[in-house]
Structures are given as C-alpha cells and as structure tokens.
A and B are shown apart, each in its own frame.
Chain A
Amino acid sequence: MCSVCGCGQASVADEPHVHDHGDGRGPHSHADDHGHVHTHEHDHDHGAEPHSHAHDHTHDHDHDHAHDHNPDHAHAHGADHDHTHGEHVHDYSAGEARVHVAGLSQERIVKIERDILSKNDGHARDNRRAFAARGVFALNLVSSPGSGKTTLLAKTIEKLRGREEVAVIEGDQQTSNDAERIRAAGAPAIQINTGKGCHLDAHMVGHAFESLRPRPGSVLFIENVGNLVCPAAFDLGEAKRVVVLSVTEGEDKPVKYPDMFASADLMLLNKSDLLPYVDFDVGKCLAYALRINPRLQTLVVSARTGEGLDAFVAWIEAHARQQPLAARG
C-alpha cells in the first residue's frame, strides 16, 4: 500500500507509474507485489533543495516502498541505481523495521507525567468542595486495628451531643457492627465495606457522603479501615487527619509506620488508663512522633475513663469553626 496516499497494490501495468499527490512529496512510484522486473522512470521532486535525479533503474518490485529516508539514506530495495541527494529531510517517521505503512500505525511514545494518585486526588478535591458547600468539617480517623477508635468515637459523639451535629462514615472490610455502635451512640452512620480493600479511597467516601447527606454544619467523622500503612497515601478530602495510637502498642509505632504519622494533624494516645500496667514510655513515643512530624499535635486520652476527651472535643470545635461559615447554622 502506498504510504502517502493509501492506494492499493493492484496491478500496475508494465509502464511508468508516476503520480503526484500535490503534497510536496512529489511523484513517487508504487510497489506492486507481482514479482517481476520492469523498468520505469522514477523522478521525484523533493521540494527542499533543488536537485533532480532521473534514474532509470531495474529493480524487483517487491519492496513495499521502504525508503528509509534517514540522513544516511540507505535504500532498502535492492535496486541498481544511485542518486545523489542534496541536504533535505524526509520525515517518514521510520519505525522499528524502518518501514512506514499507512493504516498500520507504529508504536509511539506518549508522555504522561501524571501522578499515580491523581485519580484519587481528583475525587478528594470533589469531596472537599462538597464538604465545604455544606459547611461540613471532615475528620479522617486512622489507626491500627484494635486501637479503640470506635469506642473513642462513640464517647466523643456523646460529648458532642447538643453541641454539634455529627455524622459518621465507617470503613471496615466486613460487617456493619461499627456503624451500629455509632448509631447506638446517637449519630447517623453509614458503613462502607471495602471487601478485600485495605483502605478507604476518596471515591468511596464521595458516594457515602451523598447517601449520608449530613446536615449543614455537621462534624463528619470518617473512620478508616484499621491499618497503619495503606490509608496513609489516600486523601479522602478531609480537613484534618487524626491518628489514634494506643498504649498497648509499641511506643515506636511512629517510626515504624512513619507515613501515617507524617500525614496526620493530631495524634491521640488512647487507653491512657492502662499506662500503669504497660511498659509504654509516653515521652519517648511523643519524641518519635515529633521526629517524623514536627507539626503533629498530640493528646493523651482514655475512651474508658474519659480522660482527655474534653480537650479532643475542644480541638474539634476550634477547628470546625475555621470551616467556611456560609453553610453553618
């Protein structure tokens, strides 16, 4: 097939076959796959530097017109001819086989330079806009499994009763147990089951937010899947990220799982009522956490005894008030 005009390889009579596409490439001859020898006149005008080369040559017409017009100009069609070219560039975008065939496009490189997380970040931006439009203050609660997040949340909701509207998005791999505990504590809640997924992503949260439709001005708690690794990279569109660490875990968790602590705004050191029974050095833990994230704020709390919960509530209210006030009641 002709690489310029796409005309077929139908039989070309044994006579000079010259056509001009009027595109500056000039007349050129076609390959006709009928394996015979014939003579034709082949004269083309390259339009660049004036030159001409009329060459009578004999060649096998089985060459698919594979002119390699790279600078060194090696013709690949076993023809007995030579011609001199002036300086000109033909861009036939030589491919791997140095052949260009119309209709069969070649591999080409597409520059992308897009962040792998850009999809999630786009959804997170949408969420942030949706939260702002309703004056919702969203918190993303992250921790390892068993840190006492849900109990802490239920207690916090009780403390906020009569002060703030609260809604909760619960993320777990399975069961709606947590959403039920939150509803029992008096807040509307929606459960996201991630199935095999190890974290919530912004897309899931966007859908949950639409279904939940918290009242304007609410505080929205998003309780992430218990996991100190995967949720770190996924922005949900939250205003603040709260990491919960309990004193029954190692005090070096912040340096073992630094991404999570680096991305958090507040660390709650939970189960402080158990401090007398465990070898947990609070000072050391805080030092580790601040090494990873010097801007991290910290509170020592106990969901069981209520220690530190007033401070947490005050922290929430102080930050919630910094939200756009338009939609807040």
Chain B
Amino acid sequence: MHEMSLTESVVEIALEEMRKAGASRVTRIVLDVGRLSAVVPEAMEFCFAAVSSGTAAEGAELKIERVAGAGWCLDCAKTVALDERFGACPECGGYKVQMTQGDEMKIREMEVV
C-alpha cells in the first residue's frame, strides 16, 4: 500500500502550493496518473479521505486522470500502445519497447479558495 505515502505526498504538495498561492482551502486536486504507473487509483482515492482529514484539503474532490500507455518499438520503429509495463509490442510481439508514456504520477493542478 505505497498509495498511502504517495497520497500523503499529494496532500503535502497541495497544501504547500495552496499556501504559496495565498489561499486557505483546497477544493479540488487533479492528478495525472499513467496506466503503467505503480498506482492503483481506487487505493489512492481511499487513502485520500483519510490523509486529507483535518487539513485544509479535507473534503476536496480528487480527480484522477488516467494517461494511456505508449512505447517506442525498436523493431517496428514506431510508437505503439502499451497495456502493461514492459509488455510486448502489440504489432510485432517483441519486447524491444521503450516506454514513452503512461508511467506519470503528477499533480497537474488544483482549485483553491
């Protein structure tokens, strides 16, 4: 359940950015979480309620945007869709695929008041 500490980081960063913006409450947080990243969104949502409780982010909406996986297949010499990390190229079946997208875990933006 490393989602717990990842979620703690989310809340910590959000509160830090909220103070920087001179605001007093966080009402919405938007994350970009890649489909190939090490995050289970449901687990993160579950953790968020617990971690944000009692902070200025309590009750905020957590929006998790999924980012599709993609990689560069060396043999096909093109970008292909990837369903799993280190998975095979869907076109040639080979494993010489360099992941190019889908492992992001990022706080994109948030709404504050």
Which residues of chain A have a CB within 8 Å of any CB of chain B?
105-120, 196-199, 201, 229-230, 232-234, 255, 258-259, 262, 291-292
Asked if B2 and A108 make an inter-chain contact with CB atoms under 8 angstroms apart, the answer reads: no
Q: Which of B2, B38, B95, B113 contacts A106 (CB 8 A)?
A: B113
Q: Which chain B residues border A197 with CB–CB below 8 Å?
A: 5
Asked if B31 and A116 make an inter-chain contact with CB atoms under 8 angstroms apart, the answer reads: yes
Closest CB of chain B to A269's CB: distance in Å?
A: 19
Interface string of B96-113 (1 = CB under 8 A from A): 000000001111111111
Q: Which chain A residues border B107 with CB–CB below 8 Å?
A: 112-116
Closest CB of chain A to B51's CB: distance in Å?
A: 12
CA–CA, A262 and B87, complex, Å: 12
Closest CB of chain B to A144's CB: distance in Å?
A: 15
Asked if A112 and B13 make an inter-chain contact with CB atoms under 8 angstroms apart, the answer reads: yes
Q: Which chain A residues border B6 with CB–CB below 8 Å?
A: 116-117, 233
Asked if A116 and B111 make an inter-chain contact with CB atoms under 8 angstroms apart, the answer reads: no
Given known contacts A114-B107, A116-B31, is B2 in contact with A199 (CB within 8 Å)?
yes
CB of B1 within 8 Å of the partner chain: yes
Asked if B105 and A117 make an inter-chain contact with CB atoms under 8 angstroms apart, the answer reads: yes
Q: Which chain B residues border A109 with CB–CB below 8 Å?
A: 109-111
Asked if A110 and B110 make an inter-chain contact with CB atoms under 8 angstroms apart, the answer reads: yes
Q: Which chain A residues border B2 with CB–CB below 8 Å?
A: 198-199, 229-230, 233-234
Q: Which chain B residues border A112 with CB–CB below 8 Å?
A: 13-14, 17, 107-110
Q: Which of B38, B110, B113 contacts A232 (CB 8 A)?
A: B38
